[in-house]
Amino acid sequence: MNFYMPTRIFSESCCISNHGCELAALGSHALIVTGKNSSKVNGALDDVIAALKQQLTAYTVFDEVEENPSVETVMAARELGVSCNADFVIGIGGGSALDAAKAAALMIKNCDSSWELMYMLSPGSALPVAAVPTTCGTGSEATGVAVLTRHDLKTKVSIKHKIFPQIALIDGKYLMTAPRKIIVNTAVDALAHLIESGVISRDDTYCNMSVFSGMKEWAECRPYIEGSEALDLNAAQKLMNASTLAGISIAQTGTTIPHALSYMLTYESGIPHGAAVGAFQSRFLKHAPPKRQTAILGALGFKDTDELGEYIAKLAPVYVPRELLERSAKAVMSNKAKIVQCPYPITESVMEDIINI
C-alpha cells in the first residue's frame, strides 16, 4: 500500500470565509484562475475576493478558462501571472479551471521555460495552489493531475508534473446554481473515477477507504442526480464530497481504459467529459474480477453491469460514429501505459466489447 494525499481539505458551509487565513497564507499576490461566468454566478469568485481583501492579500483575476482548457490558455494565464508578480494561484470552478490553475502555477514558477516543460519529465516545481471546486465531478482539488487540450495532437493529454493543491475549499452551496446538465455530467464523471479506481485498487485498504466511502456518498445522492428529488444543500455537499473522495482515489490509482477512450470523443465530437468517460464504465466493469465487480455494484446499488450501463446512458447519452470509437480504441491499444494500468488483460475482443456503447 502506498497512500499519498498532501492536500489539506476543508469541506463545510461558508468554507472560504472560515478559512481565509489559510488561503492568504499561501502568498502575497494571488492569480485567480477561473472561467468566464460560473464562478461569478455561484458566488465563489466574490467569496474568494472578499476573503483575500479581509486578509489584505493582493489578487489578479484571469477569467478566460474554457471547457477542456488548452495549452495556449495556460500560457496566457502564465503571462498575466508573471506580469503581476503572482506568488500563488487559486483555481475556482470545475476541473477545467482547477487543471488550468495547476498548470499555470507550474509555468509561472518556470517563467523562462516554453510550454513543452509541461510535457517533460524534467524537474519543475510550481507555485502553491488553492482549489475551490464548484462542480461535483473531476476531483481535481485532490489530485496532482492536470489534463489539457493539445491542439497539435487533437486530443487531451495530462501534463507530466504532479501538482497537488496545498488546500482545497469545498462548499456545496456553489453547486446550487449549476444547470442540471452540469450536475449530471460531473456526477457521472465522479462515478467513473470511483469505478475505475475501485477496479484498479483491488486489496489496497487505504484506497478502498476512499473508494467505498465515495460510492456510499454518491449512491445516497442518486435521487438528486436522477432529478426525482430537488437538490438541497445537504445533498449538494454530499455530491461534492463524493467527487473529492473520487479524486483522492484516482490520485492513488490513476485512471485507465475508459478515460483514455473518452479523450478523442470529447475533442472530435464535443462530448462532455463526464458523459464520454461514463459511456464505457459498465462494460469496463463487466470484465473485472467477479468479486470486485460485485462489491462495486453493491456499493452503488446496481444489480448488474447492464443496469449500471442503462442508468448512465439515460443520464448522459452518447452518440458518436462507430469509426470514431474504433480510432479511439486503436489509439488506446497502442498506449502501453494505459494498458498496463488496467488490472485485467485488454485483448482486441475485450476492447471491442468495451467500445460497443
Confidence band of 283 (pLDDT split at 50, 70, 90):
very high
CA-based nearest residue to 91, from 194, 185, 163, 175 = 163
**9, 19 contact by CB (below 8 A):** no
Q: Are residues 23 and 46 in the same domain?
A: yes
Q: Is the pLDDT of residue 338 over 90?
A: no
For 272, the domain range is 180-354
Choosing from 118, 151, 173, the residue where a domain stops is: 173
- How many distinct structural domains can be found in the chain? 2
Choosing from 173, 193, 215, the residue where a domain stops is: 173
What is the share, in percent, of the chain residues with pLDDT greater than 90?
A: 95
Q: Are residues 106 and 239 in the same domain?
A: no
| pLDDT tens digits, 88-112 | 999 999 999 999 999 999 999 999 9
In a domain, 2, yes or no: no
Mean pLDDT of 244-258: 96
CATH number at residue 145: 3.40.50.1970
Q: Are residues 19 and 93 in the same domain?
A: yes
Choosing from 151, 173, 195, the residue where a domain stops is: 173
Q: Is the pLDDT of residue 346 over 90?
A: yes
**Assigned C-alpha cell, 168:** 482545497
3-state SS of 78-110 is HHHHHHCCCCEEEEEECHHHHHHHHHHHHHHHC
| pLDDT tens digits, 123-160 | 779 999 999 999 999 999 999 999 999 999 999 999 99
**Assigned C-alpha cell, 316:** 448522459
In a domain, 270, yes or no: yes
Distance CA 182, CA 291 (A): 33
Q: Are residues 148 and 203 in the same domain?
A: no
CA-based nearest residue to 139, from 160, 164, 103 = 164
CA-based nearest residue to 167, from 357, 1, 18 = 18
Pairing type for strands 8-11 and 167-170 reads parallel
Q: In one letter, which amino acid is 221? A: C
From start to end of the chain, where are the E strands?
A: 8-11, 29-35, 58-65, 88-93, 129-133, 147-150, 155-158, 167-170
